[in-house]
Amino acid sequence: MVQRRAEKKEADDGRTAAEKISADLRKQRERLLQELKKRRKREEGLTHKEVIDMIPRYLSDDLSDRELVAFLGHINGCRDCYEELETMFMVDRTIHYLDDGEDGSFDLTPELIRDMEHKLHRVQVNQMLRKFRAAAALFSFFMFSMAVLDFFGIFPISRFL
């Protein structure tokens, strides 16, 4: 009987230890999931605060291509941030119109959409130019390498001509 109590106590201690391990594993799992959510959120895009802070830089055309793509991606999917951009865009353009002495009424919503499309198009052109420059650099390196190999007689190109 004493032996059974000792065995039962060992089993209870074993279960308690297993439960402790299980609880620790659950806590670690929760921490990892929270960290993954934070990382995913960072990778997915910008937060509302970051976008709002970027609006003046957008208006002054001061965003890099990468920032602009992330900014416009968030603006296109977030009504609140778009409305904030629209408001700040209207204030900015109104100040410019008043400074320039222009008179009359104007609808700035289509102008904002044109501005966004223009900046996105500029990013796409810059991306194509970067790819072209990379291809040109690679071709130049290849041609230079072939010329050096031909010069030293390692790979004479003249025999193929």
| pLDDT reading at 118 higher than 70 | yes
| Residue for token pair 């230890």 | 17
| pLDDT reading at 30 higher than 90 | no
Domain hosting residue 23, numbered range: 1-44
CB–CB of 45/70 below 8 Å?
A: yes
Query: Are residue 38 and residue 52 in the same domain, yes or no?
Result: no
pLDDT at 117: 92
- Per-residue confidence at 125, pLDDT binned at 50, 70, 90? very high
| pLDDT reading at 40 higher than 80 | no
| pLDDT reading at 44 higher than 70 | no
Nearest to 55 by CA among 79, 88, 78, 83: 88
- Burial letters for 74-86: b for 16+ Cβ neighbours within 10 Å, e otherwise? bbeebeebbebbe
Query: Are residue 79 and residue 2 in the same domain, yes or no?
Result: no
Query: Are residue 66 and residue 98 in the same domain, yes or no?
Result: yes
Q: How many domains does the chain have?
A: 2
The alpha-helical segments, DSSP class H, found in the chain are: 2-44, 48-59, 65-77, 79-100, 108-151
Query: Are residue 66 and residue 97 in the same domain, yes or no?
Result: yes
Letter for the amino acid at 107?
D
Between residues 156 and 127, the one the model is more confident about: 127
User: Mean pLDDT score of the chain, rounded to an integer?
Assistant: 81
Between residues 11 and 67, the one the model is more confident about: 67
Query: Are residue 37 and residue 116 in the same domain, yes or no?
Result: no
Quote the percentage of the chain above a pLDDT of 70: 76
| Residue for token pair 């919503």 | 109
Query: Are residue 79 and residue 131 in the same domain, yes or no?
Result: yes
pLDDT at 3: 57
pLDDT at 49: 93
pLDDT at 24: 75
- Helices then strands, counting H and E runs in the chain, come out as 5, 0
pLDDT tens digit string along 6-29?
555 555 555 677 677 777 767 876
149 found inside a domain: no
Tell me the C-alpha distance between 129 and 122, whole Å: 10
| pLDDT reading at 43 higher than 60 | no
Query: Are residue 38 and residue 58 in the same domain, yes or no?
Result: no
Query: Are residue 50 and residue 113 in the same domain, yes or no?
Result: yes
